[in-house]
Amino acid sequence: MINLRDIEAFVFDMDGVLYRVDTPIPGAIQFLQLLQDEGTPFLLLTNNSTLTPGMYVSKLAKMGIAIEPEDILTSSLATADYLKSHVPAGTRVYVVGEEGILQAVRDAGCIVTDEDPEYVVVGFDRQVTYEKLAVASLAIRDGATYIATNPDVTLPSEKGLLPGCGAILAAITAATGVSPLVIGKPQREMFDQAVACLGTTRSRTAMVGDRMETDIVGAENAGLITILLLSGATTAEDIVAPDAPADFVFRDIAVMLKAWREEAVSNQQSAVSG
């Protein structure tokens, strides 16, 4: 049986785990600070492709969460790594997405253009238009390779679940009959990259997420410990299977923090009595 204190490192999803839009979820600031104080390594892993690591650092700082760019791995960075290893510099790519994926594609040595693109890369885009969908669909029908940063159909917000990247993908797939190559969670490559960044043992590294189909399923397939929080895309009502959907399930990160502290006290007491 796995205990919380068997965990040597954490990989945290962000949306729905640490915050909703621009509001930190109670317990998030305290838990990350405690891990920093204890020297427990962690990485923030997100399928959201809209921001660069530097932009995430600024966003989190406004919420009282202090981290460095190297503490963040986004689906945009994972997509850029894929492009670097599979296509030559100067490859023409049409991008549906915001600054995070646009910058990552450029950093991969590709040319972002709508003129005869060889690849179409789609991420979450809050400014998506019919014109963007049309350009992407026509390029894919003409033979361009179709890549997606992530398949998340919804995005947690303070108002509820909003359309996510997967909703945009669905429109393009419906128009072309082509399904994309997905780079982000739940694909194993992104979890492997996270473990490599941490330099830890995967069997003692935990993925903390709010989405069953990406965070938990992907982490389980990659051999990580899984922790499901019911503060985002997955709720208690969504869990209908008789078996536990993850190694640990908590209402939110505040409850997880309480359990983490209580287990530390219990271990200290056992050590003293032993």
| Residues belonging to the active site | 13, 15
Query: How many other C-beta atoms are found inside a 10 Å radius of the C-beta of residue 251?
Result: 12
Query: Residue with structure tokens 């850029």?
Result: 80
* Identity of residue 26: P
User: Tokens at residue 113, please?
Assistant: 């253009």
CA 46 to chain centre: 2
CA-CA distances (angstroms) from residue 51 to 73, 102, 123, 209? 11, 9, 11, 19
> Considering Cα of 72, then 77, then 79, then 83, what sign does the dihedral take?
negative
Residue pair 83/103 in contact (Cβ under 8 Å)? The answer is: no
Interior/surface letters 180-197, b for 16+ CB within 10 angstroms, e for the rest: bebbbbbbeebbebbbeb
Cα–Cα distance measured from residue 116 to residue 137, given in angstroms and rounded to the nearest whole number: 12
